[in-house]
Structure 1
């Protein structure tokens, strides 16, 4: 990586002002973390707030035109899933919810100097797979991000939504890793809480500067058939060098919940894979583990299933957590992962979009609607 990126990043602010800024930020973060812990505690008990004994009607499973035969690994997996109840998926998640890889370390995450770069204090970035910022001093190479590598060797960078103190690092990571696709799975603000610092301007051709990086939205695309995605072309410039980045955001995936339909998310994944040209795909939500883990899990899980129709989502979750600790936070996200992989194989013509598939989608939709209602009632009760 060019040495000219290792420049002095001193901000034109006095040391006293810096200390005051850091103190205010830490105070604000501590207040936010107390709220976050409360919400995450509720989330961990998510399977207890809803009666999920919702079953599909049990229609016939029809093989699609592109399944090789009944022994096609994808068809084998779909057939097994369509015989399972939604409740059984939640119970399956309960069995692996607390899984952590053995003997992992998180030394860089725990260093005091990096505390201000972490959005949450209960979401850990482990050392083994962390993304090290290139062209930086070893004491300044930390960002809350990890590599996840697919069976086909496609690389994903899974990261938190940047905070004000890490937004330059965020763009530095994207630029130096030549990541030309960024997938955003949250909104900048959800409810009254900041979920992600705004790291580009809203207006076309409006330039925003983050340290040494100039960031400009150059184009808005209208190529989304689902109506819930936003696709932009962003130009990142530093020291006369330019990287063009496709930014794909979903507008309808609230934290702790999941979309009613898998269509937009599967479309998003296919678009990201098509545009990345083999380069790393950067994915983030707010914490970078829940929605992010489910999204990356679609690609990872579908690839594993193509090779082995008996692949379990439990094994997929564990593989993901060996690379991004705490990936997939809730039973609702775990269930959505199943639904998205099913949709992927439906679109590939492995199983027909009729009978058992439509019944299963209906059961999932009923569960989501019931969950959303229960979740909102719990929030209203405090």
Structure 2
């Protein structure tokens, strides 16, 4: 029993000893397997350890650096917050601007709608609209007959022609009288007479002087009148010669820079300007007396035939609108053709008739022409000019949006163009016959 116990203890101890021996051998093995390091290797390892330590030290923030970083983060957060707030403000401002813009556009739309309504109402109530609708229903034939029967032989009442009769040599035509009550009176001259008449436009500051084409004997009087009345524009509606007849004497220098003395005034052409309307010549002239230089614009319209009228009213209306625009207020416009009663009166008749029709939609064109003839004898000579005045007014009122270019208005205009074309063709044929006869002689 005892022997058995002893043997067991011996075996246990032997096992422990065996394990310890093996463990020692393993440690020795490991120790022997690690290579021996040289001093240089050990130095390198030490330097590497130092660098690692430095990096670790550097990468480890100090307390002050931790605080600074926190402040930076807070500042960045504040900046981000401010940026967001600024963005929100911009968005709010943009939204407000959009709202204002929408409100403004809505207001503008309302205003435009209101204006359109007012324009529509004003068009419907414009007396010129009623006048057109009434007169456009007549035909060119009816109006020509009216001119022949009621206007051609009209003589103004309660007027005199004493100055005209006393200066026969200063009148271009013996049968075109100059009314004393409306004539232009020359000042500071030996003779105060010139064949020229004042035309005043109702409800307007605009005034016209209608005069005959100057004679050689009246050129000085003509320039004295323009200078005296401070006219800024002269409209010449006729050529110097038509056919074989002189319609107007040369009353201005024939070249740029040239000066001609007419009476006490020196007249010089200083230059030309681009044509305001196709076919119209614009010349600038200086008038010089002893103390003053005065500039005047000379507008020459060569395409309006005597006793007749253009087929198309649009060029004449362009000229009319342009002159009204550029002429200074309170300065008269001098208009002449040959006699100063046909083409000249028809042109200014646009302005005069427009003003009178605004006053009274029931007024007849006959009465308008009679009123003009009370100021300028034989104003609007021929039935073609009478028709042309109607067409000019119809077209002008269409352009002014007083009336639509409906079938009635268009029909009348088409009738007029055919009528005017026939008259112009007849005039051309007559001129050809005259030239042929002269050649044969």
Shorter chain as normaliser: what TM range?
Answer: 0.7 to 0.9
Determine the structure 2 residue equivalent to 1:3.
none
TM-score (norm 1): 0.77
Partner of 1:163: 215
CA RMSD of aligned residues (A): 1.8
Q: Secondary structure at the match of 1:219?
A: strand
One of 122, 127, 141 as aligned partner of 2:175: 122
TM-score normalized by the length of structure 2 = 0.67
Q: 1:174 deviation in Å?
A: 0.4
Distance change in 2, residues 1:221/1:128 (3 Å): same
Counting only pairs closer than 5 Å after superposition, residues 164-243 of structure 1 correspond to structure 2 as 164-225=216-277, 227-243=278-294
Q: 2:128 aligns with which of 70, 74, 82?
A: 74
1:263 paired with 2:317, answer no
Question: Which structure shows the bigger proportion of residues in helix conformation?
Answer: 2
In structure 2, relative to structure 1, the CA distance for the partners of 1:81 and 1:219 (3 Å cut) is: farther
Question: How many pairs are equivalent?
Answer: 313
Whether the 8 Å CA contact 1:228–1:264 is kept in 2: the answer is no
Q: 2:409 aligns with which of 353, 357, 364?
A: 357
CA contact 1:150–1:299 (8 Å) conserved in 2: yes
Relative CO higher for 1 or 2, CA cutoff 8 Å, sep ≥ 6? 1
Residue matched to 2:365: 313
**Taking structure 1 as reference, are residues 353 and 246 closer, same or farther at Cα in structure 2, changes over 3 Å only?**
farther
Of 82, 87, 91, the match for 2:141:
87
1:285 aligns with one of 337, 345, 349:
337
Structure 1 residues 238 and 370 mapped into 2: Cα distance closer, same or farther (>3 Å)? Answer: same
Provide the secondary structure at the position in 2 that maps to 1:246. strand
Return 203-212 or 257-266, whichever deviates more.
203-212
> Could you give the per-residue CA deviations for residues 147-184 of structure 1, whole angstroms, max 9, x where no partner exists?
11110242111100000000000000000111111111
Match of 1:304 among 333, 356, 359: 356
Q: Deviations over 1:120-162 (max 9, x none)?
A: 111111211111101123xx11100111111024211110000
Q: Residue deviations 1:285-306, cap 9 Å, x none?
A: 0001111111111110011111
Q: Residue 350 of structure 1: CA displacement? A: 1.8
Partner of 1:108: 163
Partners of 2:120 and 2:326 in 1: CA distance: 25
Q: Alpha-carbon deviations, 1:75-114, whole Å to 9, x = none? A: 1111122211111111121222111111321111111xx2
Give 1:135's aligned residue.
188
Kept in 2: contact 1:67–1:350 (CA 8 A): no
Query: Larger radius of gyration, structure 1 or 2?
Result: 2
User: Partner residue of 1:348?
Assistant: 400
Q: Which runs of 5+ in 2 are unaligned?
A: 1-118, 435-441
Contact 1:167-1:199 at 8 Å conserved across structures? yes
